[in-house]
Structure 1
């Protein structure tokens, strides 16, 4: 049964990622931790691995539609590497409860900002065009 639930959440997470451009972790981490009962740290680490093929395919498909700013994406990816190294060290040093609260807090903050922007009718600033390569 756990495998069936995992497959279902993988499909849902991939679809949400494709539609909304969010990392699968928004679906994968809660599904693994809450529904399948994995410890928070293990759910986060497993989600990181699961996101790799999702990100590759999503990027490839979005690039075909001209929506990817390759230079910015690569710059963010390269510069995020030191941050993720530090983050993994911190994640392994803090309590399970701290990880759960941190993850939930981040999701609440992002949700509140998106809701605030939508209710006010604010639009994000115009983005430069995507790469033509």
Structure 2
């Protein structure tokens, strides 16, 4: 019994290492890739896969926030304006996600992946022009970013910062670096809340999630280092293609 448990933990640790490296390589996608992989390999339903993936996502978000805070100045006022509504939105969205039909959540997640892939594909295909960032909305509306990103993070277990960053750049004139820092500051407490909500509903497999998290923490830096030696545009194109392929597979086999 102990030997089989140890072997399973080693396999999950290695799997977490692969997923963490892929997350670092693509810049985004550790959790996005982990959720369908857990469903395919372990037969987990959508809620259990999302909750278990959060065990791996939480330390990566915490480490990313800590490293960013060391090197950059984060606007605490803007971060708080987003983080507070994001926490509430994350909690209620996570509670809703744990209560609905797993097949409906599965299909919704597949659609979310496809839309996200198409968005990033569009940003890659359009011509990039050097322009001064435009402020389309005043700062007092920034809490809407927190609500939307928090709801996405709670419902799908991923996507908070992915949604927040383009919103901050497009509507509030933030630079990419500043948006990434604010996004991390916003999603850090919400990610912890989401994990608590899924765990409270019994949708976390800790025996799988903890080894995944340990493997991911140790390998994510390797993926980041490899990404700096490969063409970013090609990496993003591959990532978008992989997301679309996985989304279609989930829709067909949902």
Query: What TM-score bracket applies, with the shorter chain setting the length?
Result: 0.7 to 0.9
Query: Greater shift after overlay, 36-45 or 104-113?
Result: 36-45
- Is the contact made by 1:25 and 1:48 (CA closer than 8 Å) also made in structure 2? yes
Distance 1:118 1:82 in 2: 33
Alignment of 1:80 onto 2:127: no
Say which one has the larger Rg: 2
Give the alignment's TM-score, normalised by structure 1.
0.75
Aligned to 2:194: none
Which residue number corresponds to residue 51 of structure 1?
A: 57
Whether the aligned pair in 2 keeps the contact of 1:13 and 1:27 (CA below 8 Å) is: yes
| Deviation (angstroms), 1:59 | 1.9
Aligned pair count reads 130
CA contact (8 A) 2:38 2:44 kept: yes
What is the root-mean-square deviation of aligned Cα atoms in Å? Answer: 2.8
Determine if contact 1:41/1:91 at 8 Å carries over to the other structure. Answer: yes
Alignment pair present for 1:93 and 2:99: yes
Superimposed CA distance per residue, residues 84-110 of structure 1 (whole angstroms, 9 cap, x where no aligned partner): 222222222221111111111111000
Q: Kindly tell me: are residues 23 and 61 of structure 1, through their superposed partners in 2, closer, same or farther at Cα, counting changes over 3 Å? A: farther
Please give the alpha-carbon distance, in whole angstroms, between the structure 2 residues aligned to 1:74 and 1:20: 28
Query: Aligned partners of 1:39 and 1:23: how far apart in 2?
Result: 20
Give the drift of 1:39: 1.7
- Structure 2 distance, partners of 1:91, 1:109, is 19
Greater share of helix? 2
Q: What CA distance in whole angstroms lies between the structure 1 residues aligned with 2:98 and 2:27?
A: 28
Question: What CA distance in whole angstroms lies between the structure 2 residues aligned with 1:6 and 1:76?
Answer: 34
For structure 2, list consecutive stretches of 5 or more residues without a partner in the other structure: 1-6, 130-165, 182-254
* Greater relative CO (CA pairs within 8 A, separation 6+): 2
Stretch of structure 1 that moved more, 42-51 or 119-128 = 119-128
Q: Is the 8 A contact 1:17 1:24 kept in 2?
A: yes
Question: Residues 6 and 31 (structure 1 numbering): CA distance in 2 closer, same or farther, change over 3 Å?
Answer: farther
| TM-score (ref. length: structure 2) | 0.44
Question: How much has 1:111 moved relative to structure 2?
Answer: 0.2
In 2, the alpha carbon distance for the partners of 1:75 and 1:17 equals: 28
Q: Which residue of 2 aligns with 1:3?
A: 9
Check the 8 A contact 1:18/1:58 in 2, yes or no: no
The alpha-carbon distance between structure 1 residues 16 and 121, as it changes in their structure 2 partners (threshold 3 A), is farther
Matched, 1:22 2:69: no
